[in-house]
Amino acid sequence: MHPVNQRSRQEKSWTTRRDAKAERLARAARVTKGRVIPTDNIVEALELLLIPGDRVVLEGNNQKQATFLSKALARVDPGKVNRLHMIMSSISRPEHLDIFEKGIAETIDFSYAGPQSLRVAQMLEDGKLKMGDIHTYLELYGRLFVDLIPSVALIAADKADGAGNLYTGPNTEETPVLVEATAFRDGIVIAQVNELVDELPRVDIPGSWIDFIVVADNPYQLEPLFTRDPRHITDIQILMAMMAIRGIYERHQVQSLNHGIGYNTAAIELLLPTYGESLGLRGKICKHWVLNPHPTLIPAIESGWVESVYCFGGEVGMEKYIAARPDVFFTGRDGSLRSNRAFSQVAGQYAVDLFIGSTLQMDRDGNSSTVTAGRLAGFGGAPNMGHDPRGRRHSSPAWLNMMTSDDPLARGRKLVVQMVETFQKANRPVFVESLDALHVGQEAGLATSPVMIYGEDVTHVVTEEGIAYLYRANSLEERRQAIAAIAGVTPIGLEHDSTRTEQLRRDGLIAFPEDLGIRRTDAKRSLLAAKSVEDLVDWSGGLYEPPARFRSW
């Protein structure tokens, strides 16, 4: 070997990241007590541990928010900590954007920003934040191990012991993936906990992965996002649910599935023990679920429909019910739920027969998005689950039922269903000539338009008018005609050539309720297995304890 090259090898350091971490930890030692950051010292500790330009992953997902740490980050001195590159699954709280207003943070990569979507759009327009990309959850998690490796992770857990071991309880969510991406590349992991205890119910994350714990001044924010009060389910939603059960679940023998959040899918869950039972479908459909523990699923569980439920996260008030049903839920020896958002996204992408969700806009080709004018909402995990994964190799009756060719190399497809009423609130049409997302993407300077689910992946569209069986279409024109036929009096629906309706019905491209043996007059609330949250509590034998805002008794 050439002597110069040999000398270069000898002089090169391979521990620069580890050495840099050691320097940060040494700086912070004067305000910490071993692994513990005293509650009142958190802002100063962050100022010592963070450096300008750091990539910081802040836990904030659909439900669990590292509230104490996000508030503390918003209080650091911008003269000491600035130009941070923030990585967040969900932009959910005001201080998530306050840090950009104050100059603490500069760039954002995220998945979802529902509660703050208007403000994100305005701040982007005003040049107060720089956009990285809008990701699906799995995409964002994946990049944490590739080109968005965090310097610091700010996470939340229920409890910690003196060794730094964490108990995350029923809302483990995305905590393990955030910690692992940071800890094993010599980043710094700071966990806020509700309490410090001598012994944990179980160890969810080992202390060797955690650098600091801090007891929060208040428990982390936790929202019951997946609770739907049956009182608000309408007759139209019941009609659509009946069509989904008869025209999709029964027809295609759907046994494993993911339900999105919403009243449409809550109606399906509450019709299984009644309408589904009348069709003799128990034990034939809807056996294996990947979803948060929806309270509206309780009657189906109690009626023997559900064999298993794997969860993205928990749901406030469902803790005792889950602990009492270990045959159904994934629980630890302590009885509490073990959830995992990353694993659930993988299961929802590859292991289920069907994904059913909703959208705010859909164009004539079936492309859809929840990004609309003035709102940069993102889309979370829907694109992960709302597409046909080309890597799938195992079959199921529903998957095989999507085959439309006798070719020996033909493959099945996952069912991707969009379930929407033709008009939203304020009489805004769902079916539009062009998605707002195209314009919003251009205004935000995104390289690609923020489409949530591409039309080529959608197999079925359900509206109050009927079902479009898009997977049966032989051409783009047929797909467009099928969508238009069930789009009502929206701009797309008015384009439909009504003379083709009967042919589309005969060819199996669309089905109206009467084609499925459903009388519209039968779609009444009397069909619901539970008509109120109080009914859900009764079904659970008193184990479900809904939050106060859902109590009406």
- Cα separation, 402 vs 424, in Å, equals 30
Q: What is the pLDDT of residues 460-477, one digit of tens each?
A: 999 999 999 999 999 999
The arithmetic mean of pLDDT across residues 168-193, rounded, is 96
3-state secondary structure 366-410: CCEECCECCECCECCCHHHHCCCCCCCCCCCHHHHHCCCCCCCCC
- What would the CATH number be for the domain defined by 225-349? 3.30.750.70
Question: What would the pLDDT profile of 136-158 be if each residue is shown by its tens digit?
Answer: 999 999 999 999 999 999 999 99
pLDDT level of residue 440 (50, 70, 90 thresholds):
confident
Region at 240 (left for phi over 0; alpha for psi -120 to 50; beta for the rest): alpha
Q: Is the pLDDT of residue 254 over 80?
A: yes
CB–CB of 379/369 below 8 Å?
yes
- Provide the pLDDT confidence category of residue 3 given band limits of 50, 70 and 90: low
Which whole number is the average pLDDT over 237-254?
98
**Residue 8's pLDDT band (boundaries 50, 70, 90)?**
low
Lowest-confidence segment of 239-243, 350-354, 381-385 by average pLDDT: 381-385
- pLDDT class of 373 with cuts at 50, 70, 90: confident
Tell which CATH architecture fits domain 353-521.
3-Layer(aba) Sandwich (3.40)
Give the pLDDT of residue 252: 98
Per-residue pLDDT at 282 exceeds 60:
yes
Query: pLDDT value at position 378?
Result: 82
Higher local confidence (pLDDT), 444 or 117:
117
Alpha-carbon span 279 to 347, nearest angstrom? 28
| pLDDT value at residue 258 | 97
- Look up tokens 């969810």; give the residue: 204
Tens digit of each residue's pLDDT (9 = 90 or more) over 498-514: 899 999 999 999 999 99
CATH 3.40.1080.10 residue spans of the chain: 19-222
User: What span, in angstroms and rounded, lies between the C-alpha atoms of 463 and 160?
Assistant: 48
Rounded average pLDDT over 331-343: 94
Q: What angle is formed at CA 400 by the lines to CA 397 and CA 404, rounded to 5 degrees? A: 140
Counting residues of the chain whose pLDDT is more than 90, the rounded percentage is 87
Q: How far is CA 395 from the centre of its chain?
A: 25
pLDDT at position 61 over 90: no
Q: Strand, helix or coil at 52?
A: coil
The fold adopted by the segment(s) 19-222 is: Glutaconate Coenzyme A-transferase (3.40.1080)
Using the structure block, give the residue that is written with the tokens 């949250």.
533
Retrieve residue 305's tokens.
């429909």
Q: Which residues fall within 8 angstroms of residue 291, CB to CB, at 6 or more apart?
A: 226, 258, 259, 297, 309, 311, 312
For the chain, what is the mean pLDDT?
A: 95
Q: Are 96 and 88 in contact (CB under 8 A)?
A: yes
Whether pLDDT at 442 is above 90: no
Sign of CA dihedral 346, 347, 351, 355: negative
Region 87-110: what's the mean pLDDT? 96
Element (H, E) at 478: helix 476-485
Of 237, 246, 293, nearest to 264 by C-alpha is 237
Compute the Cα dihedral for 377, 342, 311, 217 and give only its sign: negative
pLDDT band at 426 (very low <50, low <70, confident <90, very high): confident
Query: How large is the average pLDDT for residues 265-287?
Result: 98
The size of the chain, in residues, is 553
Q: Residues 407-443, buried b or exposed e (16+ Cβ, 10 A)?
A: eeeeebbbbbbbbbbbbeeeeebbbbeebbbbebbee
Q: Is 426 left (phi over 0), alpha (psi -120 to 50) or beta?
A: left
The percentage of the chain sitting over the pLDDT mark of 70, rounded to a whole number, equals 98
- Measure the CA–CA gap between 321 and 329, rounded to whole angstroms: 10
**pTM of this structure:** 0.94
Q: What string of DSSP letters covers 249-272?
A: IIHHT--EEEEPSSHHHHHHHHHI
pLDDT, residue 375, reads 81
Closest CA to 72 of 218, 171, 200: 218
Rounded to an integer, the average pLDDT of 69-80 is: 98
Residue 9: pLDDT band with limits 50, 70, 90 = low
The answer to whether the beta carbons of residues 117 and 83 sit under 8 Å apart is no
Per the DSSP assignment, residues forming a β-bridge with 222 are 64
pLDDT above 60: residue 76: yes
Closest CA to 177 of 159, 153, 201, 208: 153
For position 221, what pLDDT does the model report? 86
